[in-house]
Structure 1
Amino acid sequence: MESRIDGLSEFISRRGRMKILTALLEEAQTPAEVARRLNITRNAVYGWINESDRHPSNEHVHEMLKILNDENEKKFREILVEELQIFQELISKF
């Protein structure tokens, strides 16, 4: 079943992915709870948080977007609009 966020994760920067993760951590309170919701290990979530060369994959970003949209649509939209603005700025400088 397609959703309105299918394919969106491919266009979100590492910075945006980490903002989504931070927003989920604020909602869920712990990395372990985020991991449970994504059906992954908490070590994966801790890796995203603590290792600058790691970040959520498109698949995980897609799931995080669905959760954030359901739980905090305002924050969901805020992050996506900020991503769009950054992208527009970069294009205008090109």
Structure 2
Amino acid sequence: RAAQVGQAKYARYCAVCHAPGAVGSTVLPDLRRAGALESAATWSAVVHDGALKDRGMASFAGSLSKDEIEAIRAYVIKRANEDKALEAGKKIARR
């Protein structure tokens, strides 16, 4: 459920910069590989508190609740895991 909410919020607030599916771009980070994913507190510090505002990542405290921000993290983790599983399947198929 959280990942579903996160997917909708990601599409509205994050995809414009970080691309649909959280894959990033040549300029902006691929969130599926973001170190902040490992820690809810770090993710919140970046997305809610604006810890990286000097590097171009605005705070979304005025637009997203902390629960919504955590739901976005759940969605990005889900995307990362889906892609890891896909890559593992490809490696097995090549053997």
* Fold in common (TM above 0.5): no
Q: TM-score range by the shorter chain?
A: 0.3 to 0.5
Query: Higher helix proportion, which one?
Result: 1
Computing the radius of gyration from Cα coordinates, the structure with the larger value is 2
The TM-score with structure 1 as length reference comes to 0.37
The TM-score with structure 2 as length reference comes to 0.36
